[in-house]
C-alpha cells in the first residue's frame, strides 16, 4: 500500500485492475485455507482422544501454533484482501498500525513457538520454539537513529536469537536421531522399534514445519530488513512493489501449510482427519435418510461446525452434541 501521507510522485505504483483481482483472490484463498486448516488442527488436538494420548510428545505447543496461525490468517489476510482490492487505505493511521502490528505479532509469536517446540523436541529426544500496508518502513533508516536502533534490536531479539535456538536444537535432534537409529538396528525389541519409528516420523514432521516456515518467510524478512537497515537511499528502492506483495503472500502462506504437513507425515493426524470426515458424512447421510420433513411439515435443519456439531433429532425434538 501507499504510505500514510499522499505523495503524487508515487502514483506510478498504483496497481492495475488485474493485479487487484489476483491479489484479492490470493489473500482470500489464504484466509479460507488458513481458517479451515488450523481450525481442523485445533479440533483434532482438543477433541480426539487418540491424538491426545497416542504419543509421548506434547501437542500443546502445536495447539498454540495453530491458534497463532488462525489469528494471523483471520486478522491479517482478510483485511489484506480488502486493501489489495481497493488499492488504498482509508481506515486511518491507527487501524493500519494495529493491522501491521498484528502481522508482526503473529510472526514473532510463531518464531517463539517454533523455538519452544524445537527445545521441547530436543529435551524429549535426549530424554530430559509488508507489502499490503507498508508503515513507511523506508523512514526507519540510519538517518532516523531511534527507529534504526529499534529495528536492529527487534531483528536480533525476535529473529536471530529464536532462529539460532531452532537451528541448534534441530541439528542436535537430527544427530541424536541418527545415533538412535543406528543403535536400534542392534536391538530386536519390536515394541521399542515401533515406538522409535513413530517418534521419528513426528520429529520429521516438525522439522519440515520449521523448514517450510523459514523458506516462506525468508524473502519477506530480507525485504523488511533491507528497508530498515538501508534507509531511503538503500537497496530497498530497487525492490518492485509486486515483489514485496509476493513476499507478503509467501509469509502469510506459512500459516496454512502446517495442517497439510501434519496430515502428510503424522499418521495419528491422518486417522483423526479421516474419522472427522467419516462422522460428518455419516451424520449427513443419517439426516437425509431419516426423512426430509418433521414436526408437521417443517423441514429438518442440520448444520455441522467445528469443534461443536449439533444434530436435531426428530425422535425427541432436541439438539444433541455430536
- Domains in the chain, please, with CATH? 8-279 (1.20.1070.10), 291-321 (no CATH)
Q: What is the pLDDT of residues 118-164, one digit of tens each?
A: 776 665 555 433 444 444 444 445 555 665 666 666 666 666 777 77
Q: What is the dihedral of CA 187, 188, 194, 198, to 10 degrees?
A: 20
More confident: 36 or 167: 36
Between CA 225 and CA 206 the distance in angstroms is 27
115 phi and psi angles, rounded to 5 deg: -65, -45
State the cell numbers at 290: 431419516
| pLDDT band, very low/low/confident/very high, at 300 (cuts 50, 70, 90) | very low
| pLDDT band, very low/low/confident/very high, at 47 (cuts 50, 70, 90) | confident
Q: State the pTM of this model.
A: 0.52
- In the chain, what percentage of residues exceed pLDDT 70? 49
Between CA 133 and CA 87 the distance in angstroms is 10
Q: How many CB atoms lie under 10 A from the CB of residue 246?
A: 17
Mean predicted lDDT score pLDDT of the chain: 66
How many CA atoms within 13 Å lie on the side-chain side of 33?
15
Residue 264 pLDDT > 50, yes or no? yes
245 and 132 Cβ atoms separated by less than 8 Å: yes
Between CA 22 and CA 251 the distance in angstroms is 17
Between CA 129 and CA 246 the distance in angstroms is 26
Q: What is the pLDDT of residues 221-248, one digit of tens each?
A: 777 777 766 666 667 677 777 787 788 7
Q: How many CB atoms lie under 10 A from the CB of residue 54?
A: 16
178 and 125 Cβ atoms separated by less than 8 Å: no
Between CA 82 and CA 68 the distance in angstroms is 21
Residue 307 pLDDT > 70, yes or no? no
More confident: 138 or 257: 257
Between CA 164 and CA 184 the distance in angstroms is 30
Whole-Å CA distances, 95 to 23, 68, 91: 21, 20, 6
Q: How many CB atoms lie under 10 A from the CB of residue 150?
A: 13
Between CA 48 and CA 275 the distance in angstroms is 9
Please state whether beta strands 298-299 and 293-294 pair in parallel, antiparallel, or not at all (unpaired).
Answer: antiparallel
What is the predicted pLDDT for the residue at 278?
A: 79
- What 3-state class would DSSP assign to 318? strand
Amino acid at each position: 500500500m501507499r504510505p500514510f501521507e499522499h505523495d503524487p510522485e508515487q502514483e506510478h505504483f498504483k496497481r492495475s485492475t488485474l493485479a487487484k483481482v489476483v491479489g484479492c483472490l490470493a489473500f482470500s484463498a489464504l484466509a479460507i485455507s488458513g481458517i479451515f486448516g488450523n481450525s481442523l488442527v485445533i479440533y483434532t488436538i482438543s477433541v480426539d482422544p487418540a491424538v491426545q494420548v497416542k504419543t509421548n510428545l506434547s501437542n500443546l505447543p502445536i495447539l498454540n501454533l495453530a491458534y497463532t496461525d488462525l489469528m494471523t490468517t483471520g486478522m491479517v489476510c482478510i483485511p489484506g484482501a480488502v486493501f489489495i482490492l481497493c488499492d488504498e487505505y482509508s481506515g486511518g493511521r491507527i487501524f493500519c498500525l494495529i493491522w501491521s502490528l498484528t502481522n508482526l505479532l503473529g510472526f514473532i509469536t510463531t518464531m517463539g513457538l517454533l523455538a519452544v517446540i524445537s527445545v521441547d523436541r530436543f529435551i524429549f529426544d535426549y530424554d530430559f520454539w509488508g507489502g499490503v500496508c507498508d508503515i513507511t518502513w523506508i523512514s526507519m533508516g540510519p538517518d532516523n537513529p531511534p527507529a534504526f536502533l529499534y529495528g536492529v534490536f527487534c531483528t536480533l531479539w525476535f529473529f536471530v536469537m529464536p532462529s539460532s535456538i531452532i537451528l541448534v536444537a534441530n541439528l542436535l535432534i537430527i544427530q541424536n536421531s541418527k545415533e538412535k537409529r543406528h543403535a536400534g538396528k542392534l536391538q530386536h525389541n519390536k515394541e521399542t522399534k515401533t515406538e522409535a519409528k513413530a517418534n521419528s516420523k513426528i520429529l520429521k514432521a516438525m522439522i519440515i514445519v520449521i523448514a517450510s516456515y523459514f523458506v516462506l518467510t525468508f524473502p519477506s524478512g530480507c525485504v523488511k530488513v533491507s528497508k530498515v537497515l538501508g534507509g531511503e537511499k538503500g537497496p530497498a528502492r530497487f525492490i518492485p512493489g509486486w515483489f514485496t506483495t509476493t513476499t507478503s503472500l509467501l509469509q502469510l502462506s506459512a500459516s496454512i501449510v502446517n495442517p497439510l504437513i501434519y496430515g502428510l507425515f503424522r499418521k495419528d493426524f491422518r486417522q483423526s482427519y479421516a474419522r472427522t470426515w467419516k462422522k460428518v458424512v455419516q451424520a449427513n447421510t443419517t439426516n437425509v435418510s431419516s426423512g426430509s420433513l418433521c414436526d408437521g411439515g417443517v423441514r429438518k435443519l442440520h448444520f455441522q461446525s467445528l469443534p461443536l456439531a449439533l444434530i436435531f433429532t426428530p425422535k425427541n425434538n432436541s439438539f444433541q452434541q455430536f
